[in-house]
Amino acid sequence: MSLYPFFAPRSVYSPVHHLLREVSELERQIEPLFHGLCQNEVFKCDNEKFSVNLNVSDYKPEELKIDLDGRKLKIEGNQKVENEHGFSKRSFSRIVLLPEDADLAAITSNLTEDGQLSIEAPRVPKDTGRSIPINVNPAVKDTPKENTK
């Protein structure tokens, strides 16, 4: 007596296909949470300046902090909102390595009313070189050296 008509053979890869379907479903559910995160920051580097623009419209100016350690520019935001049910905290931190030719003493930051934080560092112009004049000294008379034998 054969059980074959009542038992359909399963593919060896069936568990893998099931796992791949679950991963795809998870990606589909998570993607909206991360959509747009990278669109909130813009980095530009041209011949004149280096700039960072961030959308920090959810933060108050006093909740933002910018630090410079060598060429590392650290931008932080910390927020705590309290209500009758409790509180919520959120924060962000970005560390940007400035180019070697950035003028660190001339960095500026501006926050617009609509929450756009702009940080700019002008670039020090590259030294294109220069000519070095050759000074001609008057001829030095050769004095005969005495043999010390």
Q: What are the mean pLDDT values of the chain's consecutive 10-residue runs (149 residues total)?
A: 56 77 84 60 86 91 95 93 89 91 94 93 84 83 60
Domains annotated for the chain, with CATH where assigned, are: 39-122 (2.60.40.790)
Q: Output the CA–CA distances (angstroms, integers) from residue 34 to 13, 20, 125, 146, in the order listed.
A: 31, 21, 39, 88
- Tens-place pLDDT, residues 64-88: 999 999 999 999 999 998 988 898 8
**Do the Cβ atoms of 71 and 104 come closer than 8 Å?**
yes
Asked whether the whole model's pTM tops 0.75, one would answer no
Backbone angles phi, psi at 148, to 5 degrees: -110, 65
Residue 82's SS3 state is strand
Distance of CA 145 to the CA centre of its chain: 68
